Structures are given as C-alpha cells and as structure tokens.
C-alpha cells in the first residue's frame, strides 16, 4: 500500500479561523494533516521572515478537538519553522487558507495566505493558496464547503501530476454552491483596483496618526484573469512563480545604455 501523503495546513487568519478548520478537515480525506498556523490574524501581512526575535510554537486544539500548533510568527514563518524541522515527518504538500476573501492581482504580494504557499514553494514543495470570494455582507456563518471541496480536487491533481519547480497555485473560488460552479479556469493575475484612503486622526495627546481605510477593493474582470474567472462563476487557478522579473522590460532597460562614469 502506498504511504499516505502528509499535508501541512496553515493560513493567515489565525488558528481559530473557521476557514482553517474547514481546510484541515477537507485535507484529511487525502492524507495525514499537520496544522501550524499563526496565533492571530496576519491578513495582508506579506512575505515575512522573522529574524530579530524568537518564534514560539505551542500545541493547541482546533474546534473539532484535533491537535494543532500555533505560532507567534507570520504565516510564512509557520511554514518555514514546520519544514525546517519542527515537523519531524516529511511534508509532501503545503496548503494555506481558506482565506475568506479572494486574493487576486497584486493582492498576492500582500496576502499572508499566498505568501505562506510561497514559502512552501521556496522549500521546493507543491503549495496551494486557497481563497474564496465571500460576499462583503452576509448573515450568520460563512460557508467554506465549496472551497474545501475544490481545494481537495486541486490538491489531488497536484499530487498526481507534481508542480513545476518554483511554481505555486493561487486558487480562488467563487462563493457559490458547488453545483453552481461553471468549472475551472487556468488564469493569469488580473488587475486589482484599490480604493484606499488615508485617514488622519489625532491621538489623546494631540499627535496625529494615520489609518489606511476605504471601501473594499474591486478589480478589472478581464477574460482569462483570476478576477474575471471568479466574477463569472469559474474557479480560478493561477500558477504563480517566485521569479518576479518583468521579462519584457529587460529589453527596454538594456536600451537605456546604463554606463558607469569614467
């Protein structure tokens, strides 16, 4: 019998997030699951390597009573600590999420969900970031069942096929019942539109402080992009690479003829 695969599950919303529980439970259908997640919400925390303070890891339980670990490090720290030896058993797959909001376009540079998966790719492991496009306003609890099911399907395929080196998957799922999904769409990063505003207020001592706020971001729903896909009811699978080189700009910049001064 083939050895069951070992899946490292993490997120950026923290150990108590319902999306993490849904993902961990879904992944158990594919193999052994170890959860190492941040002890608080790191959403939009970016790709972090904590170097100037120690990182603590503590054993805890998820809401279903299963064993898990939480750490005071960032999502990417959780993956690094786990893969550098905290987890003794070899890990075969890293899955991060389920983030309750889509991570599209340049969100991927802010997203703790995606950067956790990037850390997995740095360690040369197949890695998947899972996010769902939940509505801005909703009543009751968010439903993660569609995304969890989709994450399982994608993870299964990734384990079957293997991932190209230095590549991770950014998975975005529309907030729809599974039966209403139109299918899968392999996409490129689209354009996210931010509507941030800088709020300037005064603290109780009269000194100004700043808060970045404003309405939720939107995007350009272009065909074959992450945003375009989820907005038309498709699951978006974007292969991301850690090499951020803007290839077409190399020629342009070469033509500028940079020269050291004599």
Q: List interacting residues with Mn ion (CB under 5 A).
A: 12-13, 43, 99
Torsion angles phi and psi, residue 214, rounded to 5: 110, 175
- Residue nearest to Mn ion according to CB distances in the complex: 43
- Whole-angstrom CA distances from 259 to 227, 254, 255, 262 are 41, 11, 11, 9
Is residue 20 a contact partner of residue 98, using CB atoms and an 8 Å limit? yes
Shortest gap between Cβ of 248 and Mn ion (angstroms)? 32
Give the chain's count of helices (H) and strands (E): 7, 13
Residue 6 bridge partners (DSSP): 32
Q: Which is nearer to Mn ion, 43 or 225 (CB)?
A: 43
CB of 181 to Mn ion, least distance (A): 22
CB of 251 to Mn ion, least distance (A): 38
Nearer to Mn ion, 5 or 151 (CB): 151
Q: SS3 for 109?
A: helix
Nearer to Mn ion, 92 or 115 (CB): 115
Residue 5 or 15 having the CB closest to Mn ion:
15
| C-beta closer to Mn ion: residue 5 or 101 | 101
Q: 201 by DSSP, 3-state: which?
A: strand
Question: What minimum distance in Å lies between the beta carbon of 104 and Mn ion?
Answer: 13
Distance, CA of 176 to CA of 185 (rounded, Å): 15
The gap between the terminal CA atoms of the chain, to the nearest Å, is 69
CB of 44 to Mn ion, least distance (A): 7
Pick the closer one to Mn ion by CB: 5 or 131. 131
Residue found by looking up tokens 């509505």 in the block = 135
Task: Give whichever of 12 and 92 is closer to Mn ion, judged by the CB atom.
Answer: 12
Count Cα atoms within 13 angstroms, Cβ side, for 250: 5
Shortest CB 113 distance to Mn ion, Å: 6
- Does residue 213 sit in helix, strand or coil? strand
Q: Please name the helix (run of DSSP H) or strand (run of DSSP E) that holds residue 159, with its range, or none.
A: helix 145-161
As given in the structure block, the two tokens for residue 198 are 């800088």
195 contact partners, CB below 8 Å, separation of at least 6:
214, 215, 216, 217, 218
**Smallest separation, CB 187 to Mn ion (Å):** 20
């Amino acid at each position: 019998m083939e050895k069951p695969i070992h899946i490292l599950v993490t997120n950026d919303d923290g150990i108590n997030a319902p999306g993490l529980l849904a993902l961990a439970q879904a992944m158990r259908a594919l193999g052994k699951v170890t959860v190492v997640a941040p002890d608080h919400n790191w959403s939009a925390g970016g790709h972090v390597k904590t170097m100037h303070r120690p990182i603590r890891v503590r054993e805890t339980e998820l809401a279903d009573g299963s064993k898990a670990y939480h750490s005071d490090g960032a999502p990417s720290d959780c993956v690094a600590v786990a893969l550098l030896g905290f987890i003794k058993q070899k890990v075969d797959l890293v899955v991060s999420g389920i983030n309750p909001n889509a991570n599209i376009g340049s969100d991927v540079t802010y997203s703790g969900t995606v950067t956790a998966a990037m850390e997995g790719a740095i360690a040369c492991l197949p890695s998947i970031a899972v996010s769902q496009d939940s509505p801005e306003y909703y009543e009751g609890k968010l439903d993660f069942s569609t995304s969890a099911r989709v994450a399982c399907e994608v993870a299964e395929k990734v384990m079957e096929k293997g991932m190209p080196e230095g590549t991770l998957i950014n998975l975005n799922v529309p907030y729809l019942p599974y039966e209403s999904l139109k299918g899968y769409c392999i996409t490129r990063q689209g354009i996210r539109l931010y509507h941030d505003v800088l709020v300037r207020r005064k603290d109780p001592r009269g000194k100004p402080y700043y808060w970045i706020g404003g309405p939720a971001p939107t995007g350009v729903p272009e065909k074959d992009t992450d945003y375009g896909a989820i907005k038309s009811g498709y699951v978006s699978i974007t292969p991301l690479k850690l090499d951020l080189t803007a290839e077409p700009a190399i020629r342009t910049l070469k033509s500028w003829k940079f020269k050291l001064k004599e």
